[in-house]
Structure 1
Amino acid sequence: MNTQITAPSKLYIGIDIHKRSWKVHCATDLFSGKTFTMPPKPELLESYVNKHFSEYEVTTAYEAGCCGYYAHRSFESYGWRSLVVNPSDIHRKGKERFTKTDKIDAQLIAREFKDGRLDGIHVPEVDREQLRSLFRRRNDLVKDFRRIKSVIKMQLLYFGIKVPEPYDNDHWSHGFRGWLDDMVFQYPIAKASLDSRMRYFRFVDEDLRLVSNQLRAYCRKHYKKDYYLLHSIPGIGGIVASGIICELGDLRRFTSIKHLAGYVGLAPGVHQSGDNQKHRGITMRAHCLMRSYFIEASWQAIRTDPIMQAYYRKHVGKNVKSVIVKVARKLLSRTLAVIKTETPYVIGVVE
């Protein structure tokens, strides 16, 4: 009886990617494979595969990290199937939890991939990924802005200088900035220190405004439809709308609110054993940046939307943190609905 090969042999490549080198493990359907080190160049791995596994169907996987998606896109351009995986999704057995080397990591990725236990994360388009870098830069500037304001107030407190009552708030008006510029110390060296901090404050303030305007302008131009749909929702302003477009991508890819809430991190954690069931608050696995933006947006939503306000008051008396998370989940559901139906939100209309 003649036998024929009905399916191509498969090659599974697990890669532990670092800046200066890659640890690569190759495994097939028939053998566990070998591990080797190579320079961080996708084209060299392609040459190796073409030389030793030319007839194989190639699949690759590596952990998401600082090296981004360049390797993933290169592998896909070779006609390979490629996954970028969340490190926490890689199952470790027994002592594997207590031993970690680059070689072991590459072997684990290849093994889990071969056994069909790995799912890849969402890889954004190049234009959206690069737009996301601007949004994250803005977030860094916000942190710097808050920090320098705290440092300046700390210096005033240290020297026993009381801020006038009209200026003693989080809003730094032009009058308050002028008051700081005109301040006189007993010794000029303290004034030099304050002036230096004020120069840095103004630099960060100007750069933050510039980046914010660039971000909003780009989203209005290139994602006009989604931007204005999101902007119609009370609580979601230009920056939050831009953040959703940058970080979450096209919301139409989410099949349900449960799917989206799990991605953002507004899904409840549950532990059940027999008849005992406990809720453990929101899940630890989250897109922390967008979760914080939705929670902040929820405070604005309950001030401007009667429906959200009524929903919040219905839970008055409970833990405030738990209630605002419920509101954020409702706001997230509203966001998905607006994008899916492509219908602007109208205040006062019962959902």
Structure 2
Amino acid sequence: MKRKLVVGIDVGKERCAVSLFDGERFRDFSVPSSPEELLRRITPYLPGKMSSVLFVMEATGVYHLKLALFLKERGYPVSVVNPFVVKKYAEMLQKRAKTDPVDARILAQFGFFASPPPFVPRDKKAYLLEEIQKTIEDYQKRRTEILNHLEALHHHPFPHPRLQKLYEEELQRIEETLRTLEKEAEDLALQYAPREYRLLLSIPGVGKRLACAILGILSPLTRFARSKELASFLGLAPQIDQSGKRKERAWLSKRGNPFLRKLLFLAALSASRFNEQCRMLYERLLSRGKPKKVALIAVANKLLRQIFAILRSGIPYDPHYLERKRSLAFQGT
């Protein structure tokens, strides 16, 4: 459907740059980062039908989410686009300036001419799962820092006993907080998607943290038609660079969710040992002379395909599933 008006919004912490574009001219605003105030300011310029307007914004951490949910709940079409895509669109337009008003105009133009896909909100529990997992990572980083401080004090020629006690007390508080958060995440996952959570844990290499993160960040999985789309979304898809006689090069795009990509890579370390199919792939690549990091990335991709297949089929992990399926098909012929 052709939009009569697109509202490009460059969302900031304190203010939003807003640009209304009807295909010919722009109308620009700067408003406080309050969804209610933004809607109040631009309502007089909106067309009568909600379906004739589209709000477009970039995915900017948590800042855009409150506004996108606010507009969606009120029935307005919303699109949240990848900043990388918008950056390439700006380069195509040969835009050299990088200011909030310019970014809002680019978003409005992009929404009007490119028709980006609609924003699909996740379940509240999914957002909470993602938030808890990121908090767990933050506390794990703090725990590592304190352990490093304690190790340094242990080797210091004049260790201060009071400092060591302070670090040990802080470490104990962090450990208790981590246990509480991990229990809360598991309980929430069992409330939100118990079947999917248990299916994920059936895969060797997939632990509770990764399972909770997948349910939180990738929900609903139905938005991905193929596992390759999922790999691309997470930045695990290879990029190919080859032109003329120049030798072909390949590297990871790393354009997706860095947090989930990191968890998948860590899970690949375990899967390369305890997941039969992943272990065979890992050993085969090493035998061909591939670096360990390259082999682990391939294992992460393999693990991701297993995750996709199991959640789609609803069948727990079985390393011999395909062999049994082929055997049954052969017996039936």
Give per-residue Cα distances to partners, 1:225-276, cap 9 Å, x unaligned: 0011001001112222112111222323211111011112211111121354
SS at match of 2:309: helix
Task: Give the conservation status (yes or no) of the 8 Å contact 1:306–1:348.
Answer: no
- In structure 2, do the counterparts of structure 1 residues 200 and 45 end up closer, same or farther at CA, with 3 Å as the change threshold? closer
Task: Give the conservation status (yes or no) of the 8 Å contact 1:307–1:348.
Answer: no
Distance of 2:165 and 2:186 partners within structure 1: 32
Task: Give the conservation status (yes or no) of the 8 Å contact 1:22–1:37.
Answer: yes
Give per-residue Cα distances to partners, 1:51-89, cap 9 Å, x unaligned: 234436211111222414221122223332111122221
- In structure 2, do the counterparts of structure 1 residues 307 and 75 end up closer, same or farther at CA, with 3 Å as the change threshold? closer
Deviation at 1:38, TM superposition (A): 2.0
Q: Which of 54, 59, 81 is equivalent to 1:59?
A: 54
- In structure 2, do the counterparts of structure 1 residues 329 and 122 end up closer, same or farther at CA, with 3 Å as the change threshold? farther
Whether 2:115 is the aligned partner of 1:143: answer no
| Residue segments in structure 1 that go unaligned for 5+ positions in a row | 1-6, 161-184
TM-score (norm 2): 0.87
SS at match of 2:205: coil
Distance of 1:294 and 1:95 partners within structure 2: 36
What amino acid maps onto 1:18 in structure 2? Answer: G
Give per-residue Cα distances to partners, 1:105-147, cap 9 Å, x unaligned: 1111111111116456664233311221111111111111111
- Residue of structure 1 equivalent to 2:197: 227
Distance of 1:218 and 1:55 partners within structure 2: 41
- In structure 2, do the counterparts of structure 1 residues 96 and 301 end up closer, same or farther at CA, with 3 Å as the change threshold? same
- Residue of structure 2 equivalent to 1:32: 25
Distance of 2:296 and 2:46 partners within structure 1: 55
SS at match of 1:84: strand
SS at match of 1:16: strand
Deviation at 1:349, TM superposition (A): 4.2
SS at match of 1:240: helix
SS at match of 1:88: helix
Distance of 1:298 and 1:264 partners within structure 2: 15
SS at match of 2:28: strand
Deviation at 1:46, TM superposition (A): 3.4
- Residue of structure 2 equivalent to 1:266: 236
| Residue segments in structure 2 that go unaligned for 5+ positions in a row | 324-333
- Residue of structure 1 equivalent to 2:74: 78
SS at match of 1:236: coil
Q: Which of 285, 288, 291 is equivalent to 2:261?
A: 291
Task: Give the conservation status (yes or no) of the 8 Å contact 1:18–1:67.
Answer: yes
- Residue of structure 1 equivalent to 2:16: 22
Distance of 1:302 and 1:8 partners within structure 2: 50
Instruction: Map 1:95-114 onto structure 2 (within 5 A).
Output: 98-114=96-112
Give per-residue Cα distances to partners, 1:172-218, cap 9 Å, x unaligned: xxxxxxxxxxxxx6xxxx10011111111111111111111111122
- Residue of structure 1 equivalent to 2:127: 129
Give per-residue Cα distances to partners, 1:320-350, cap 9 Å, x unaligned: 1111111111111111100010000124445
Distance of 1:77 and 1:315 partners within structure 2: 49
Task: Give the conservation status (yes or no) of the 8 Å contact 1:64–1:87.
Answer: yes
What amino acid maps onto 1:107 in structure 2? Answer: R
Instruction: Map 1:172-321 onto structure 2 (within 5 A).
Output: 190-316=160-286, 317-321=289-293
Distance of 2:162 and 2:321 partners within structure 1: 57
SS at match of 1:83: strand
Deviation at 1:100, TM superposition (A): 1.5
Distance of 2:34 and 2:298 partners within structure 1: 46
Q: Which of 312, 317, 322 is equivalent to 2:294?
A: 322
- In structure 2, do the counterparts of structure 1 residues 47 and 275 end up closer, same or farther at CA, with 3 Å as the change threshold? same
Task: Give the conservation status (yes or no) of the 8 Å contact 1:86–1:121.
Answer: no
Instruction: Map 1:141-180 onto structure 2 (within 5 A).
Output: 141-159=139-157
The structure with the larger Rg is 1
SS at match of 1:36: strand
What amino acid maps onto 1:237 in structure 2? Answer: G
Distance of 1:149 and 1:20 partners within structure 2: 37
Q: Which of 7, 10, 18 is equivalent to 1:13?
A: 7
Q: May I ask how many residue pairs the two structures share in their alignment? A: 316
Greater share of helix: 2
TM-score (norm 1): 0.82
Distance of 2:263 and 2:33 partners within structure 1: 36
Deviation at 1:295, TM superposition (A): 1.7
SS at match of 2:242: strand
SS at match of 1:266: coil
Distance of 2:132 and 2:3 partners within structure 1: 43
Whether 2:83 is the aligned partner of 1:87: answer yes
